[in-house]
A and B are shown apart, each in its own frame.
Chain A
Amino acid sequence: MEETYALRMEHVSKNYGDNAVLKDVSLSVKPGEIYALIGENGAGKSTLMNILFGMSVIRDTGGFDGKVIIDGVEARFNSPNDAMAAGIGMVHQEFMLIPGFTITENIKVGREDTIPTLASRIFGKSLEKLDNKKMNADARKALDSIGMDIDQHVRVAGLPVGYMQFVEIAREIDKENIKLLVFDEPTAVLTESEAKGLLSVMRSIAKRGIAIIFITHRLSEVMDVADRMTVLRDGEVVASKNIIDTDIPEIAELMVGRRIEKLVDENETHYTHSDEIALKIRDFQVDMPGETVNHIDLDIHKGEIFGIGGLAGQGKVGIPNGIMGMFPAYGEVEIFGEKLQFSKLGDALHKGVACVSEDRRGVGLLLDESIENNIIFNAMTIKREYLTGLGFAHLVNAKKVRAFAKEMIKTLDIRCTGPQQRVGSLSGGNQQKVCLASALALNPRLLIVSEPTRGIDIGAKKLILEHLVDLCRNHGLTIIMVSSELGELRSICDRIAIVAGGEISSILAPDAPDVEFGLAMSAARVSQEVS
């Protein structure tokens, strides 16, 4: 007899333009099974789930190849509503709850039980009265079944975060025909004990015959609850295994993978950095939504390239943003011994820190301005350079600007028609080079580059990285590079700090084994258990 699967995805491929994000991915989930889906950011997990839920992004970008089979029947969902009707539910990482509503109202949102009234007979179904009694009873039942003894009349606003997660789950299992439940990083925002409770609830839901897809970065949790797992990397299935046949180090290694393409050929031995400290960070906190930094101590030496890596949402991007004053930051930061004042706008710039933002179109560039204006804009406003003083008025010294812009275009190989071309019309890689030029125009002592190679082609990537190395080795610039791409960090950095949960989980040498990087990225907790 053939085994029945709640969900089978067969040979699923998906391209965004020329960029293949999923390549021939197949997986199958049995009823009552907890199936872990593991992979770094950009490995293709979200795209796979978007396909499963029939999100409009997929259709708008040309659909996908392959089959989605639910309970033996091929499904083509045109909207999330279709997927819901077919019995697929999602427990979101960012809560889809309405704070002003009670728990019952949240559980029943959009699926309220109603009683016909006189008005509804005349004017149609939407005027039917709400059946509060039945709704409360159903909500109670759903809450009881996941062992939550909170009153269903309570408003969601003000509930602890862990409770909200449970309300989400209760909403999904209250749906009568639920067959498959996707948990998208459900433990990311929970405390350890809350996470433990959640895992046991997942087990009890699975026991009722509901299939579960569990997306997470916390490998210890995978070992705890999952029956089987698939590791995705760069849109491909790297391995599918039974959990009993594997262990955390193996999964960590599979997740990170051996893909250190030597982007930069560095024959010389690594620069032995001086003892002078370029950046000293103590008890540093940044309140950046989605990238909160909790508590970080760091010493970065003069003349080194220091890498900061980690998964998205763990706080690595929060560090440069906090230093530059883009988001509220607390703690102590010293730049070459000078204390940084967070309350003073642009203080970091004045102290000789330049930053290439990860959001180059939003923060880094004035898209409608010319290349030369973009390059000198910061230097002009911060250092009052490239100006000709005329008493009270200052005019831009066009000649000086043009000369500097031409020089940068040459050294960084910015492909353009000339220094007056509009930056918005350049390609991503060339825009990034303009950002870098603008940071260099400040003549900084410390350069922070955040995601310098995001969305640019391999050639431009190589050039930018080479230039960074050159700046450091030959011009003595201290560089902090924040990047999601472990490969590029490992190819040029002297030391790499991995951030997880808003804290530094470990600082590693670039040639440390893959396993250690994998473990560091999936939170410090795990590495303690292993060692």
Chain B
Amino acid sequence: MSEKKSIWSKIGNTLIKNNVTVLFVLLCVGAFFASTYTLPSLFTELFTRLGRNTFLVLSLLIPVVAGLGLNFGIVIGAIAAQIAIFLVVHWGFTGFSGILMTVLICTPLAVLFGFLVGKLFNSMKGTEMIGGLVAGYFSDGLYQLLFLVILGGVIPINNSTLMISTGMGVKNVINLKDNLRYAIDEVSMLSIINVAFYAGILIGVILIVYRLIKKQDLQLKKLLTVLIPVIALYGISYVPAIRTFLSTPRLMLLNAVELGVIGVALFNIYKLIRLTAIEKKQGVPIKQLLYIAGAGAVYASTYISVIYQSLCAVHLPVLTFMLIGALCLFMPWLMNTKLGQDMRTVGQNRAVATSSGINVNRVRIIAMILSTVLASYGQLISLQNIGTVATYGSHQQVGLYAIAALLVGGASVQHATVKHALLGMVLFHTLFILSPNAGQQLLGNAQIGEYFRVFVAYGVIALALAMHAWSNRGPKKQRGTLVR
């Protein structure tokens, strides 16, 4: 009896601990049934929004780890991206080269901005969040000054499509239709494979040359074991059927799931064979078998008609999701480096960090630079998907919605992971998509749903900050009782 009880109380505890997330799951389910949305139509919109905004949300993680809290200052990263986009559009770059050019311009800008914000935050330790919020407003003001007065007013810019007809100030919409729109989204898998292949070969050659110069062991055998399968795989891409599949600009979600399932299954079968045949480990490798069974189950579920339809309705922008995936992998990797460990230490306790020889201010500035740069890339990804830049508005709500999404996923001011970001994105945007429609159905007014989602965004942030304040009061009390 008592065991049963403890299991229930455990479940209860986890539910209470993740109260915000649980509430959102319930809201999402409720809103879904109240709305006229079908699963396929929801999926289509959801994945569009995921592609657009996930990168931005992930850019919030590093400052949380480094103890800087929720970085409302990512607005400044977004501003860097928009300045770069304006210049690139003005100079007439298009397509992927335009994107590269934008990255080239916005990276140094974002580094500079991140450095300045980091400096600011270092002189206001403990109140970074309000500082970030105000710094965001302040930089918005400077940005408006730049775009309304200086561009055209001080720096002559001859461009009738971008500038207001008086010649001073930038129009309030920059259209990306003929230059940057979908420039990242619609890079085909074939081009990605091509670029990756040649880049790989180049790195291999450089490595060999480097080792020759330094007179190190060439490790040719190791290189070849990597190179041969890569070349073989590359060769496969020349098979006509595969080639046409790879050249489509986007990937159907169904195919992505299939590829994923095959990948997971193959990897685990390989591991299984290695464990039993080569390393001769005793016992049944349950973990691998479970993975394979899971992959099979997922594949089988694609034959359910609702799921099948939903998966067919979504066409993924391949490179965008690859970039998001890469960032998701980058975070744990970074945390496993000396720099990442320093960030965690600084985030947990600055006094301990200082006394163990970590340069706290430097680590915090690095965290802010990384976050700002990633935020600027995130804004770039988002804008190229939307296809228009609202010159004076696109950046304004970026921080608010990204932070709300992160918090919905169960993150807090001190603790946020990739998982929180991804889960939060799904929940927050599901509700975002559904609420106007649900409002229309339930109350006959879409506007109410609209209000509701804005209310929810602010409400979640307020709740998280209140809970942060609460939990901050806890430890003090503990110290008092320590003497007993």
Contact = CB atoms under 8 A, between A and B. Distances in A.
A443 interface: no
B356 A110 contact: yes
Interface of B: 336-339, 341-342, 344-345, 348-349, 351-353, 355-358, 476-477, 479-484
Contact of B339 (A127, A189, A290): A127
A189 B482 contact: yes
Contact of A109 (B336, B337, B352): B352
Contact of B338 (A81, A101, A127): A127
Given A127-B337, A130-B338, A96 B476 contact: no
Contacts of A97: 352
Interface string A487-524: 00000000000000110000000000000000000000
Given A105-B341, A119-B337, A125-B338, 11 more contacts: A84-B357, A111-B356, A112-B341, A126-B337, A126-B339, A128-B337, A129-B337, A130-B336, A292-B481, A292-B482, A313-B483
Q: Give the interface centre of B339, B353, B358, B484 by most chain A CB atoms within 10 Å.
A: B484
B352 A289 contact: no
Interface in A99-135: 99-101, 105, 109-112, 114, 117, 119-120, 125-130
Contact of B349 (A81, A84, A98, A120): A98
A502 B338 contact: no
A98 B345 contact: yes
Contacts of B476: 289
A209 interface: no
A182 to B, nearest CB: 13
Nearest to A315: B483
Contact of A80 (B345, B355, B477, B481): B355
A290 to B, nearest CB: 7
11 contacts: A96-B355, A126-B337, A128-B338, A129-B336, A129-B337, A289-B476, A294-B483, A313-B483, A315-B483, A501-B483, A502-B483
A396 interface: no
Contacts of B357: 81, 84, 110-111
Contacts of A98: 345, 348-349, 352
A292 B480 contact: yes
Interface residues of A, number: 38
B65 to A, nearest CB: 11
Nearest to B480: A289
A112 B348 CA distance: 16
Contact of B342 (A84, A126, A292, A315): A126
Given A97-B352, A289-B476, A130 B482 contact: no
B480 A110 contact: no
Interface in A68-110: 80-81, 84, 96-101, 105, 109-110
A288 B484 CA distance: 12
Contacts of B356: 109-111
Contacts of B348: 98-101
B483 A292 contact: yes
A96 B481 contact: no
Given A81-B357, A189-B483, A287 B477 contact: yes
A137 to B, nearest CB: 17
A480 to B, nearest CB: 22
Contacts of A80: 355
Contacts of A110: 342, 345, 353, 356-358
A398 interface: no
Contacts of A100: 348
A517 B483 CA distance: 22
Given A101-B348, A110-B358, A289-B476, A502 B484 contact: yes
Contacts of A128: 337-338
B412 to A, nearest CB: 12
B336 to A, nearest CB: 5
Contacts of A109: 345, 352-353, 356
B482 A161 contact: yes
Contacts of A105: 341
B480 A287 contact: yes
A97 B342 CA distance: 14
Nearest 9 CB-CB pairings of A with B: A110-B356, A289-B480, A126-B339, A292-B483, A98-B348, A109-B356, A287-B480, A110-B357, A289-B479
B289 to A, nearest CB: 27
Contacts of A117: 337
B17 to A, nearest CB: 16
Given A96-B355, A101-B348, A110-B345, A292 B484 contact: yes
A161 B481 CA distance: 11
Nearest to B354: A80
A110 B337 CA distance: 12
Interface string A27-47: 000000000000000000000
Contacts of A327: 480
Interface in A136-190: 161, 188-189
Contacts of A501: 483
Contact of A294 (B337, B355, B358, B484): B484
Contacts of B344: 101
